[in-house]
Amino acid sequence: MKPSTHQDRLDAATSRRLAKLADRPVDTARLRQTMEQALTEAGGKESPPVIGRIFQRWRTVVAVAAILLFAVWLGVWGLDRATLTPPVMAAPVRLAQLHHDLSLGKLPSLRVTSVEQANKLLADQRAGVLPVPDLPGEIMSCCLYQEDGQTLTCALIEQEGRLISVVVSGGTPRHMPTTQPIEFKGRLYHEHTFDGVRMVMTRHEGRWMCVMGDARTEALLDLAAGIDF
């Protein structure tokens, strides 16, 4: 290790003193009083207003700097939130919210008692939509939901005392999470859980389906396997 020189020790001492000075609050009132007194003695009675304008501009600069720093912080915070919720997670999050909204009646849904009635009412709303498939359990409501430019056909059913949402789409929505697929009765399913909502998703002949709710994964898989969509 290289021995410290006199200059090194001097630099270290200077750094310690500057660090202590940085921790002390700046008394701008005393600075302003001193400057006003000096300029008054040198230039007469007009000096204090000049100092006032200087300090006013200084306060404006500080305020603008604070706003800019806050804006930068908001941008970093928003970027961090986006990083914490990547695109592969965003779809399950929205699906869980969709199930909650369907279950609580927060979406403009149609109250129905049969799949036939549901499909007739949905066809009257929009021609060419994917119909509700034959479902087990008791159908309670249905609706059309727009997401990422695609129309999702949604139905809420009651199965063994639990509310289950069944969502189908004729396109290829970006909903499939990057999880290891589960093979069940000849189909591959992806399973995911968010906010207490378990969901199983599958693709079949260019169509996509998600079955979700507060139920065991095995029960959701068994229900989904019996749906021909």
Q: pLDDT band for position 81 (50/70/90)?
A: very low
Same domain, 109 and 129: yes
Q: Are residues 118 and 58 in the same domain?
A: no
Among residues 84, 99, 121, the one where a domain terminates is: 84
Q: Give the total number of structural domains in the chain.
A: 2
Taking a C-beta distance cutoff of 8 angstroms, is the pair 166, 211 a contact?
yes
117/135 Cα distance (integer angstroms) = 13
**Spatial CA neighbour of 152 closest among 164, 168, 176:** 168
Classify residue 149: in a domain, yes or no.
yes
* CB atoms closer than 10 angstroms to residue 51: 19
The answer to whether residue 96 scores a pLDDT higher than 90 is yes
Residue 91's pLDDT is what?
78
Asked whether residue 3 is assigned to any structural domain, the reply reads no
Residues 63 and 142 in one domain: no
Are 110 and 36 within one domain?
no
* 42 CB-side CA count, 13 A: 9
> Are 167 and 93 in a shared domain?
yes
Confidence of residue 162 (pLDDT cuts 50, 70, 90): very high
Q: Which residues of 60-69 are buried (b: 16+ CB within 10 A; e: fewer)?
A: eeeeeeeeee
- Which residue range forms the structural domain that includes residue 110? 87-225
The encoded tokens of residue 66 equal: 């604070």
| Model confidence band, residue 86 (pLDDT cutoffs 50, 70, 90) | very low
- Decide which of 109 and 21 is more confident: 109
Predicted local confidence at residue 82, as pLDDT: 33
User: What pLDDT does 176 receive?
Assistant: 67
Of 59, 84, 109, the residue that ends a domain is 84
Query: What is the spatial distance between Cα 42 and Cα 61, in angstroms, rounded to a whole number?
Result: 27
Q: Which of 11-20, 89-98, 154-163 has the lowest mean pLDDT?
A: 11-20
72: confidence class by pLDDT, cuts 50, 70, 90: very low
- Residue-level pLDDT at 10: 54
Q: Check whether 56 has a pLDDT greater than 70.
A: no
At residue 76, the pLDDT reads: 41
Q: Is the pLDDT of residue 21 over 70?
A: no
Tell me, what's the pLDDT at 84?
Answer: 39
Residue 12: predicted pLDDT: 63
Domain end (from 50, 84, 118): 84
pLDDT confidence bin for 180, thresholds 50/70/90? confident
Please write the tens of the pLDDT for every residue from 116-145: 999 999 999 998 889 999 998 899 999 999
